Chain A
Amino acid sequence: MASSLYLCLLRAVFLVCFVNPLIQGLSGDANVVQNPHHELEENLTGLPIVTFKWHHVQTPYLVIIWVFVAGLAKLSVIELNHHVTSVIPESGLLIILGFILGGIVWGADKAQTFKLLPPTFFYYLLPQIILDASYFMPNKLFFSNLGAILIYAIFGTCWNAATVGLSLWGCYEAGAMGNLDIGLLQFLLFGSLIAAVDPVAVIAVFEEVHVNEVLFILVFGESLLNDGVTVVLYNVFDAFVALGGPKIDAAEIFKGIFSFVVVAFGGSFLGVVFAILLSLLTRCTKHIQIIEAGFVFVVGYLAYLTAEMLSLSAILSITFCGICCQKYVNANMDEKSVTTVRHAMKVLANGSETMIFVFLGVTAIDTEIWIWNTGFILLTLLFVFIYRIIGVFLLTWMLNKFRLVPIEVIDQVVMSYGGLRGAVAYGLAAMLDEDKIPEKNLMISTTLIVVYFTVILQGLTMKPLVQWLKVKRAAHSDLKLIEKLNNRAFDHILAAVEDICGRIGDNWWTRGWNRFEENYISWLLMKPKARRNRDYLFSIFHKLNLEDAVNYVSEGERQGSLGFIRSDEAANVDFKKQFGSEFTDVMPDIMVDMSNYELEIENFSATSIVKDTIPSVSLDIHGQDRKNAVDDINAHHLLQQHLYRSRKNHRHKYSRSHFSINQSEDEVQEIFQRTMRSRLESFKSAKMGVNPAKKITKHHKKELTHKMANGHPDGTGHLYGDEVDSAVGSETGAIRGTFMRDTYTVGAGIENPVFLPDMDSPTHSSLPWLMETEAVAPSQRAQRRLPWTPNRLRRLAPMRISTCSTDSFLMADLEEHEEQPQTDHEEIRPAFD
């Protein structure tokens, strides 16, 4: 409460001190704005040190100030007393705040300085909201209810437009509105602009209500698509009005209907085309990952503008662009870019939604547009409300004859009550041509009243209504693999039963589409890499495991460290509630998963090795070797003594195109040479037979797991290193080393060149690793494997194949020489023998 008060105060102060002078300044010297250099020349008596150049920055400054104010408004609304926000929906509060802001501006200027202009709305505020809504559309739900959504969107909207327009006209003819200069066509035009349910308002309200998913998708999908429809209708009637009543004959009406179809479907088609384009584009953005996220926005906006240019439905275009591209774009792009897109999309959409609501409020504070006509306004409100209900019930009644799961009466009530009108209606009303429609201002004010009425009042009462009617809420349940698995099984069963019955049903179509999609569309639009391993069930599994792993680590951190991992019991206690005593068996799978996916296996020729080795590596993490803690301590000591800490050398801390930088050839060289030198030394000392073999074996393993742990994003993984299976033979160790090197892409922690043996070979020198925490251990292997026999060397074959030079420490003496990986072991072998 205190914070909200503070914020309100802050905002008020901000407005009074900052915005108002600016605005006054703006309105005061409007003539200067026209001629910005005029003032400058006059004052040029000496060299000015600082000048105040308001008019230079005026437009962008005002825009950004309003964005800022809208952001503050949202903040204060959210931070406001929670009792208020739980009753009044956020959108309503924002509109009310807009009233206040508009009032302040009006008080300062004595005129309306700012209002929402249709071009601003349609070109800069609306696209990202629609793109966001469609990009995050739950596709399966949407397409399985597409029939119903289309019926509501097309027929429902036409029904609303026609009935509202005609009824208003009827009432006008009957004399309910007094003397107005409006004809039938104008009434129909008004009906069409007021007909559509607004996605912005609907999402804002329904998001807070959490109704069940079918109801949500019906309302949401309808609102999204019928915006397109209403714009098309509006354009058709606008053309009719321009044409004038007498000239409209059957041919024109037919052309109108035809253009309706062309505009709507043409727009959708254009959106699909752009979606394909975008998917194809993201297929080949591997090397410009840093900007690939931008393509989604740019191409989406391009789809919108192109449709607008071709006078097709821009909203439908961007809608279908978002819906169709999401799957492929998400699969093609880097995971980071996907996250970027998601967040940026939300920022943009939420920001412009806030702007829209605030400006809907601000716009109202204007004496010019308000023309009161009790009959017209009240009748419009009444008809809008009533015909929505009738339309929904009528269409649902027809739909329910065909639906497997009928839409219940309660849902229908909520659907009809959720017919919120919003900024699109206002935008269209503001676009009306005053020459053709003399009562434009009446229409604007009526539209605004309808918007306020629906958004504030209906939005306000929506929640109580939903609670009172006991509408089925969205059952929030945890993701469960078994549910998904069975859903898959059910699909197959249903398809099979349909086959047995010999009927072509929904499942037949679904399956046919899936097959087609898999065989052709995915092939065309997805990276080959993304196509692999993208089974839905598996991705669910992967996601669950990642969640578990994160939980596991955070649980450990909550307890101070991951030390509990060392003891079976502790881990089981922590996770008993979720996994029972089986947990330790799950973890390896998680590890397999993470190493498989987080590290991105680049070298697919190594897949066979991967398959063979990771599970065992991972199992080792929770392996049996927990008893000899003393060994561990020893090992730590030894490692610390021998670890080489490279000079901290943060060369470029900044790069425009990469996050992980700070790698350089010189550093690599330095580490390599130093390592080689120290290995040579340790080799020499080992020749005297200093270290017991057993311990060293252990270190070797430890390093392996250290390396593996590097793959963990949180870098805490190296704690796992203490539980290493000492029973694993050296051969698998070597193989693992190979694997690790192949999969290793990014990470921080201890690097051991033994397992990154080819770091200076030109092909792999670009492997990004971070140097900050880096330290290099001298080879323990050099101490251990004495003397080398050809036999043993051969067992290390996997490493050699991949151009490594593990045991070429003798080469360290040759210093600057680039190694000849193919031949080096040939040279060494005699040296050992």
Chain B
Amino acid sequence: MGSTSSTLLKIPNVEVLMQETGFSPAHIIRLHDRFKALDKEGRGHLCPQDFGAIKELAMNPIGDRIIGAFFSPGKETVDFHTFVKILILAHFRPVDKNRPKEPNSPEPINSRSNKLKFAFQLYDQDQDGKISRDELLKVLQAMLGMQVTEEQLESIADRTIQEADLDRDDAISFEEFRKSLEKVNIDHKMSIRFLR
């Protein structure tokens, strides 16, 4: 395990990162390897093109939105720390039941509400805190695509909004989003096994 610690040392702020994300050293190293592999030119940060180079991701109907989620507005690059922590990867770590919950500790980054928030911001592209009909329609177009006609998509979007929309403003706020998905087991659905 000597190599483990030596690799870990190369990553800046690794202890902080581990504490914040709850990843084990093995995870961090694996992710770092991946990060380096994506960062072909070795700049130490990733830009949207690097993500675009992942073939499968390009075929993902909402892939560009997920790439977009890595880049906070105005920023063109993402370093490893952000890659792991602030953005999504940590969201997908399954919730750890055995970990003792420290009182007064901040909400873990993979909590239900954070997972939901991540999904929500994929819809909410203009970041006004609401999913409007148009925003929903765009996601639907991406996901359903050719199999359904435009009108059918619109009716689906209308109905979806109606289901969730409590204050009748024809848009879904985060609170409404959370409520409508109350019965869905987000912890199971938004978790990836190997990040455990």
- A500 adjacent to chain B (CB < 8 Å): yes
Report, as a range, how many residues of chain A touch the other chain: 35 or more
Q: How far is the CA of A508 from the CA of B194 in the complex (A)?
A: 13
Instruction: Check B143 against A404 for contact (C-beta < 8 Å).
Output: no
Chain A CB within 10 Å — which of B123, B156, B191, B196 has the most? B156
Residues on the B chain within 8 Å of A532, using CB: 147
Cβ proximity bits B62-101 to A, threshold 8 Å, 1 near / 0 not: 1100100000000000000000000011001010000000
Chain B binder among A487-495, A622-630, A674-682: A487-495
Instruction: Tell me how far the C-beta of B110 lies from the nearest C-beta in chain A, rounded to whole angstroms.
Output: 12
> Contact at A537–B181, with CB atoms within 8 Å?
no
Residues on the B chain within 8 Å of A535, using CB: 144, 147-148
Centre residue among B51, B94, B159, B165 by max chain A CB count within 10 A = B159
Which one, A404, A538, A582, contacts B191 given CB within 8 A? A404
Please tell me if B5 contacts chain A, counting CB pairs below 8 Å.
no
Q: In the complex, which of the residues A492, A497, A538, A592 contacts B192, with contact meaning CB atoms closer than 8 Å?
A: A497
Q: Tell whether, in the assembled complex, residue A492 and residue B62 are in contact, meaning their CB atoms are under 8 Å apart.
A: yes
Interface residue SS majority, chain B: helix
Which stretch (A227-235, A356-364, A476-484) binds chain B?
A476-484
- Cα A493 to Cα B92 with chains together (Å): 10
Residues in B neighbouring A482, C-beta threshold 8 A: 160, 163-164, 180-181
Q: Is B47 an interface residue (CB 8 A)?
A: no
Q: Is the CB of A500 within 8 A of B51?
A: yes
- Tell me the minimal C-beta distance from A754 to chain B in angstroms: 27
Query: What chain A residues lie within 8 Å of B159 (beta carbons)?
Result: 481, 541, 544-545, 586, 589
Q: Is the CB of A497 within 8 A of B89?
A: yes
Q: Is B190 an interface residue (CB 8 A)?
A: yes
Beta-carbon nearest neighbor of A614 in chain B: B151
Q: Which of A587-635 contact B (CB under 8 A)?
A: 589, 592-593, 611, 615
| Contacting residue for B162 out of A582, A592, A593, CB 8 A | A582
Q: Assuming the A-B contacts A533-B148, A586-B162, A615-B151, are A507 and B60 also in contact, with contact meaning beta carbons closer than 8 angstroms in the complex? A: no
CB-nearest residue of chain B relative to A480? Answer: B163
* Contact of B92 (CB < 8 Å), options: A494, A499, A538: A494
How far, in whole Å, are A580 and B168 apart by their CA atoms in the complex? 8
Residues of A within 8 A of B144 (CB): 535, 537-538
Docked-complex contact B143 and A481, CB < 8 angstroms: no
Give chain B residues whose Cβ lies under 8 Å from the Cβ of A403: 193
- Cβ contacts under 8 Å, A30 to chain B: none
A287 contacts partner chain B, Cβ-Cβ < 8 Å: no
* Alpha-carbon distance between A806 and B188 when the two chains are bound, in angstroms: 61
| Separation of A579 and B168 alpha carbons in the complex (Å) | 10
What CA separation (Å) do A615 and B181 show in the bound complex?
A: 30
Q: Residues of B contacting A43 with CB < 8 Å? A: none
Contact of A500 among B54, B143, B165 (CB under 8 A): B54
For residue A581, give the distance in angstroms from its CB to the closest CB of chain B: 7
Is B37 on the interface with A (CB-CB < 8 A)? yes
Binding site secondary structure of chain A: helix
How far does the Cβ of B138 sit from chain A's closest Cβ, in whole Å? 12
Q: How far is the CB of A315 from chain B (nearest CB, A)?
A: 31
Most buried by B among A494, A495, A592, A593: A495
Number of A-B contacts (CB under 8 A): 146
For B29, what are the chain A residues with a Cβ–Cβ distance below 8 Å? none
A568-592 at interface with B (beta carbon < 8 Å):
579-582, 585-586, 589, 592
Is the beta-carbon distance between B51 and A579 smaller than 8 angstroms? Answer: no
The answer to whether A486 and B119 touch (CB under 8 A), given A475-B183, A481-B163, A496-B57, is yes
Q: Are A489 and B147 in contact (CB under 8 A)?
A: no
Q: Is A501 an interface residue (CB 8 A)?
A: yes
Among A482, A494, A499, A503: residue with most chain B CB under 10 A = A482
Please give me the residue from chain A that is nearest to B64 by CB atom: A496
CA distance A475 to B163 in the complex (A): 19
Q: List B residues 147-196 near A (Cβ within 8 Å).
A: 147-149, 151-152, 155-156, 158-160, 162-165, 168, 180-181, 183-184, 188-196
Within 8 A of A (CB), among B118-140: 118-119, 122-123, 139-140
Q: Is A505 an interface residue (CB 8 A)?
A: yes
A38 and B196 CA atoms in complex are apart in Å by 81
How far apart are the CA atoms of A422 and B37 in the complex, in Å? 56
Nearest CB in chain A to that of B188: its residue: A405
Bin chain B's interface residue count. Answer: 35 or more
With known contacts A492-B143, A582-B162, A586-B158, A483–B183 Cβ distance under 8 A: yes
User: Quick check: is A534 within 8 A (CB to CB) of the other chain?
Assistant: yes
Chain A residue with the shortest CB-CB distance to B151: A615
Q: Is B41 an interface residue (CB 8 A)?
A: no
Is B94 a contact partner of A496 (Cβ separation < 8 A)? no
**Which residues of chain A have C-beta atoms less than 8 A from B63's C-beta?**
492, 496
Smallest distance from the beta carbon of A85 to chain B beta carbons, Å? 30
What's the Cα separation between A499 and B122 when bound, in Å? 17
Q: Does A334 make an interface contact (CB < 8 A)?
A: no
B8 within 8 A of A: no
Cα of A502 to Cα of B57 in the assembled complex, Å: 10
State whether the Cβ of B34 lies closer than 8 Å to any Cβ in chain A.
yes
Q: How distant is the Cα of A545 from the Cα of B180 in the complex, in angstroms?
A: 18
Q: A481-B163, A496-B57 are in contact. Are A611 and B151 (CB under 8 A)?
A: yes
The distance in angstroms between the C-alpha atoms of A482 and B183, with both chains bound, is 11
- The CA of A493 and the CA of B37, in the complex, are separated in Å by 21
Does A485 belong to the interface (CB within 8 Å)?
yes
A813 within 8 A of B: no
**What's the Cα separation between A477 and B182 when bound, in Å?**
10
Partner of A483 from B54, B66, B184 at Cβ < 8 Å: B184
B108 at the interface (CB under 8 A from A): no
The minimal Cβ–Cβ distance linking B22 to chain A, given in whole angstroms, is: 16
Q: Roughly how many angstroms separate A373 CA and B63 CA in the complex, as a whole number? A: 68
**B56 an interface residue at 8 Å Cβ cutoff?**
yes
Chain B residues near A497 (CB, 8 Å)? 66, 88-89, 92, 192
In the complex, whether B31 has a CB less than 8 A from a CB of chain A is yes
Report yes or no: A404 in contact with B180, Cβ–Cβ below 8 A.
no
* Cβ–Cβ < 8 Å partners of B25 in chain A: none
Interface-centre pick from A405, A475, A487, A581 (highest chain B CB count, 10 A): A405
Task: Write the nearest CB–CB distance from A533 to chain B, whole angstroms.
Answer: 6
For residues 25 through 50 of chain B, which have their beta carbon under 8 Å from a beta carbon of chain A?
30-31, 34, 37-38
Closest chain B CB from A784 CB (angstroms): 31
Closest beta carbon of chain A to B89's beta carbon, Å: 7
CA distance A474 to B139 in the complex (A): 30
A493 near B62: Cβ-Cβ < 8 Å: yes
Contacts of B193 in A (CB 8 A): 402-404, 505-506
CB atoms of B94 and A483 under 8 A apart: no
The answer to whether B62 touches A502, judged by C-beta atoms less than 8 angstroms apart, is no
Smallest distance from the beta carbon of A71 to chain B beta carbons, Å? 38
Q: Which of A494, A501, A538, A593 contacts B147 (CB 8 A)?
A: A538
Contact A494 B192 (CB under 8 A): yes
User: Does A481 lie within 8 Å of B156, measured CB to CB?
Assistant: yes
Q: A480-B163, A500-B51 are in contact. List 20 more A-B contacts (CB 8 A).
A: A404-B94, A404-B188, A483-B180, A488-B143, A489-B139, A490-B189, A492-B63, A494-B190, A496-B62, A499-B57, A500-B34, A500-B57, A500-B89, A501-B192, A502-B38, A508-B56, A533-B148, A537-B156, A538-B144, A586-B158
**Which 7 A-B residue pairs are closest in the complex by CB-CB distance?**
A589-B155, A535-B147, A404-B193, A496-B66, A499-B56, A499-B57, A502-B34
A-B contact pairs, 14 of them (CB 8 A): A404-B94, A404-B192, A482-B180, A490-B189, A492-B61, A496-B66, A500-B38, A500-B54, A501-B89, A501-B195, A502-B34, A535-B148, A589-B155, A611-B151
A: which residues have CB within 8 A of B?
Answer: 402-405, 475, 477, 480-483, 485-490, 492-503, 505-508, 532-535, 537-538, 541, 544-545, 579-582, 585-586, 589, 592-593, 611, 615
